């Protein structure tokens, strides 16, 4: 039986992805900071779902991840869905630093733990939810876009490292556009997608072991257009939500 661990499954995309894997009969390990939300998910399929409270910014997060894996009897796929980000036009330092603590330090902490587990196991699949925001620096959300670019590059590096070490590992970098989740707070964003629809595309991307999955087709076109814009033009564009 296939086993997946999802970090950041208490709400939004991570929770919807967990439900889809539960419906497919997988053993699902769900982790996040809110005990009540994890327990409510477990109650939907007690025989399939395992829970663990994990804060990716805490030093004990890898230890707790291994405890969850031990509960499940192993792990085949690791999905990191936890992340934060805010528009921060006035560059409040606490917002920028908190974003980096989760999206960079927490990201490293958890992907490293998964990498080492699969390294010892001999195989595995690491999937992460980054963002199209990593394509260009967005002035409205400097730390968020920069940390997402960091995630894109880090997964590239891990992929190369695993090949250098002749490991049987797969990597999927999932890059959604705007998704209606608690992270966005309101519905004023353009081309807003439903978390349920995004989750279905994520499950398909993981099953096909896509290396990079931009979700959805509208955002694939947008990203192609963004990449064609010279830097001297980009910095003059008032990119907002």
- Secondary structure, 3-state, 131-185: CHHHCCCCHHHHHHHHHHHHHHHHHHHHHHHHHHCCCEEEEEEEEECCEECCCCC
Residues with Cβ within 8 Å of residue 103, at least 6 apart in sequence: 83, 84, 85, 143, 144, 147, 148, 150, 151
Q: What are the tens digits of pLDDT across the range 29-76?
A: 999 999 999 999 999 999 999 999 999 999 999 999 999 999 999 999
Give the pair of three-digit tokens for residue 144.
């968020």
- Determine the angle formed by the axes of helices 35-44 and 12-23, rounding to 10 degrees: 20
* 3-state secondary structure (DSSP) of residue 198: helix
pLDDT of residue 68: 98
The predicted pLDDT at position 193 comes to 86
Which fold is adopted by the domain 3-234? Rossmann fold (3.40.50)
SS3 category, 51: strand
Supply 192's token pair: 């807003």
Which pLDDT score, from 0 to 100, does residue 177 have?
85
Three-point CA angle 168, 126, 86, nearest 5°:
155
The pLDDT, as a whole number, for residue 181 is 66
Domain-by-domain residue ranges, the chain?
A: 3-234
C-alpha closest to that of 81 among 182, 222, 170: 182
Residues 128/79, Cβ–Cβ less than 8 Å = yes
Tell the residue number behind the tokens 């796929």, with chain if given. 77
Q: Residue 190's pLDDT is what? A: 61
Which residues of the chain are modeled with pLDDT < 50?
none
């Amino acid at each position: 039986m296939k086993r997946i661990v999802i970090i950041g499954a208490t709400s939004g995309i991570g929770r919807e992805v967990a439900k889809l894997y539960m419906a497919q009969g997988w053993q699902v390990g769900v982790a996040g900071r809110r005990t009540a939300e994890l327990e409510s998910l477990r109650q939907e399929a007690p025989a399939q779902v395992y829970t663990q409270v994990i804060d990716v910014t805490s030093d004990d997060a890898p230890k707790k991840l291994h405890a969850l894996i031990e509960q499940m009897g192993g792990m085949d796929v690791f999905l990191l869905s936890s992340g934060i980000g805010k528009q921060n036009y006035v560059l409040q330092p606490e917002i920028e630093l908190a974003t980096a603590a989760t999206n960079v330090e927490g990201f490293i902490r958890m992907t490293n733990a998964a990498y080492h587990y699969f390294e010892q196991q001999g195989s595995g699949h690491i999937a992460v939810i980054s963002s199209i925001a990593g394509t260009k620096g967005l002035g409205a959300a400097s730390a968020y876009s920069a940390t997402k670019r960091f995630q894109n590059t880090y997964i590239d590096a891990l992929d190369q490292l695993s090949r250098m070490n002749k490991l049987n590992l797969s990597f999927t970098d999932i890059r959604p556009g705007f998704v209606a989740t608690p992270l966005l707070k309101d519905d004023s964003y353009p081309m807003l997608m439903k978390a349920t629809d995004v989750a279905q595309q994520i499950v398909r991307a993981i099953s096909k072991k896509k290396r990079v999955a931009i979700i959805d087709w509208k955002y694939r076109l947008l990203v192609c257009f963004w990449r064609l814009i010279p830097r001297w033009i980009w910095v003059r564009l008032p990119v907002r939500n």
